[in-house]
């Protein structure tokens, strides 16, 4: 049963890996396997048998998720872009309680953190609605400013994924 559960988690992670702007690490946090996954990868040879038993179904699930949901997610992104993006924003927001629970074990959440959380939320939502005004058909129309903004948001996203 654990094999099947990990396989299904891997399918969700694989489907998250093909989405632009969504890290599969978010799905790892949602399912509560982020720390164990990192430990299994980093210390694979110290306990290779148990790490392999944990990683193998997840890797199979990731491959299945990419193959099965690649075209389906592409269809939904083009037919229902706002609704699809809102679903994934909901998934990310749904992972906040798990993150807060983990933070509470290390540091107490202070009310002074709330404005930063709200600003980040508003920035994320506004980026969805502003995306259409930055629609680019070819790379010839790309301005330096646009590339700088995209690079900034990608670096912030990657830094937050590793924190």
Assign residue 2 a region: left if phi > 0, alpha if psi is -120 to 50, beta otherwise? alpha
- CB count within 10 Å of CB 145 equals 8
Q: State residue 94's pLDDT score.
A: 76
Every domain of the chain and the residues it spans: 1-109, 111-163
Read off φ and ψ for residue 108, nearest 5 degrees: -80, 135
Whether this model's pTM surpasses 0.95: no
Q: State residue 20's pLDDT score.
A: 62
pLDDT in tens, 120-141: 888 877 877 776 666 555 556 6
In which residue ranges of the chain is pLDDT below 50?
A: 158-163
Q: State residue 154's pLDDT score.
A: 66
Q: Is-contact 24 13, C-beta < 8 A? A: yes
Q: Is-contact 40 93, C-beta < 8 A? A: no
Q: Is-contact 49 42, C-beta < 8 A? A: no
From CA 130, how far away is CA 17, in angstroms rounded? 23
Residue whose token pair is 């694989």: 14
| Token duo for residue 22 | 């969504």
Read off φ and ψ for residue 135, nearest 5 degrees: -60, 125
Instruction: Indicate the burial class of 15 (C-beta count within 10 angstroms; 0-12, 13-18, 19 or more).
Output: buried
Determine the distance from the C-alpha atom of residue 25 to the mean position of all C-alpha atoms in its chain, rounded to a whole number.
Answer: 5
């Amino acid at each position: 049963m654990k094999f099947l559960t990990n396989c299904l988690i891997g399918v969700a992670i694989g489907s998250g890996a093909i989405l632009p702007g969504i890290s599969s690490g978010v799905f790892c946090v949602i399912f509560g396997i982020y720390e164990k996954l990192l430990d299994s990868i980093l210390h694979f040879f110290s306990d290779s048998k148990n790490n392999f038993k944990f990683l193998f179904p997840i890797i199979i699930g990731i491959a299945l998720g990419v193959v099965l949901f690649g075209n389906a997610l592409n269809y939904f992104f083009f037919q229902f872009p706002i609704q699809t993006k809102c679903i994934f924003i909901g998934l990310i927001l749904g992972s906040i309680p798990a993150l807060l629970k983990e933070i509470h074990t290390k540091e107490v959440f202070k009310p002074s953190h709330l404005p930063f959380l709200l600003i980040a939320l508003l920035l994320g939502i506004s980026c969805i609605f502003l995306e259409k005004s930055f629609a680019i058909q070819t790379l010839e129309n790309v301005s330096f400013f646009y590339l700088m903004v995209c690079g900034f948001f990608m670096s912030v996203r990657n830094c937050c994924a590793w924190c």
